[in-house]
A and B are shown apart, each in its own frame.
Chain A
Amino acid sequence: MDTTVTLPIGKMAIETEGFTDEELMGRIRNGDRDAFSMLVMRHTKKYYSLAYRMLSSREEAEDIVQDAFLTLWTSPGKWDGGRETKFTTWFYRVVANACIDRRRKQRPLALEDGFDPPDEGRGAEEAVEMKRRKDNIDACIGELTESQQTALALCFYEGVSNREAAEIMGVSVKALESLLMRAKASLRNKLSEERGREEANNGQR
């Protein structure tokens, strides 16, 4: 079975099998570009997905992932392979923290956009209705606490196990589970309120 992948930079083809992330990190510390390329090819989509779930913006999610990988390349010593159990867990934490920082900087704008979703979807085409629902869910999720949003992005949208998500967030499994339960309960309430409002409006027409 062919296990090589041609990378877009440097015209190199390296074995995809045989190197763990941790071994690649050891090589990256010594300036091995092939190892860095391998890591980027292997994980970019996964970390983009988390960043997108936390920021709801393709451009910003791409920026976050690019910055995180560049920091990894310029300062690989930030990852302490001896203490951290897995590279992926540590890098999830890096990306999640970067997203939280980015959101904090944009908070006033996000509130303005998120709290009053445009009312353009009523009775309009299906695509408009879909967008309105999407905006509404984004707004509801945006009202959760930062920790609840991170827990939801990791466990529900990314399918990370509760135990790994707890490790990424630096909390106990019990605390993580409590965050998840509160996040879902809160979302359920908000969405059912919204549905109630929608039905009332439809009834008035």
Chain B
Amino acid sequence: MDRDEFLKCLELYGGDLGRWPSGLVEEARAACEGSQELREALDQERRFEESLMERGFEEPSPGLEARILSAAAAVKRPEPARNSLLGLLNAIFSSIPLPSPAIALPLLLVLGMAAGYLYANYAERDTDNAQYAEMLYYGEDYYE
């Protein structure tokens, strides 16, 4: 790792080498050992980060989780619609952690079968209608 690469990584990942991507840590340590300039840059970055940490932090109130749960208990939650077919499907599929493609595939299959069934009925009816029309047109000759 050369000087510029080290300085760039220092800016990106910070002064704690333990938080650098694992593949870079050993190279960074080696680069640091061989260069006074890089050691100083590392110290400077650490001092800068310490000064940022002076910003302070307040812990949350001890009962925050309980407060959230109480508030949720008081909220009226819309019940999942189980009456409709869509609601039922939603209830079934949402309880199973499936990725969308896994749901989409059987759904497409069902839709395809339904469309095929409907089309078959229409086609049959069209054929009947055509025969009937021919029968009317040709009259008695139709059967000859």
A residues neighboring B (CB under 8 Å): 7-10, 20, 22-23, 26-27, 29-31, 33, 36-37, 40-41, 44-45, 48-49, 52-53, 56, 58, 61-62, 65-66, 69-70, 73-74, 80-83, 130, 133-134, 137-138, 141, 156, 159, 162, 177, 180-181, 184-185, 187-188, 191
Contact = CB atoms under 8 A, between A and B. Distances in A.
B86 interface: no
A62 B56 CA distance: 17
Given A8-B69, A31-B80, A62 B60 contact: yes
A44 B62 CA distance: 11
Contacts of A52: 57-58, 60
Given A49-B57, A70-B75, A130-B54, 4 more contacts: A20-B97, A52-B57, A62-B64, A130-B56
A9 B66 contact: yes
Interface string B98-109: 111101000000
Given A27-B95, A62-B64, A137 B100 contact: no
B68 A187 contact: no
B96 A26 contact: yes
13 contacts: A29-B95, A30-B91, A40-B65, A41-B65, A52-B58, A61-B60, A66-B67, A73-B72, A74-B77, A141-B55, A159-B19, A162-B13, A185-B11
Contacts of A26: 94-97
A41 B79 CA distance: 23
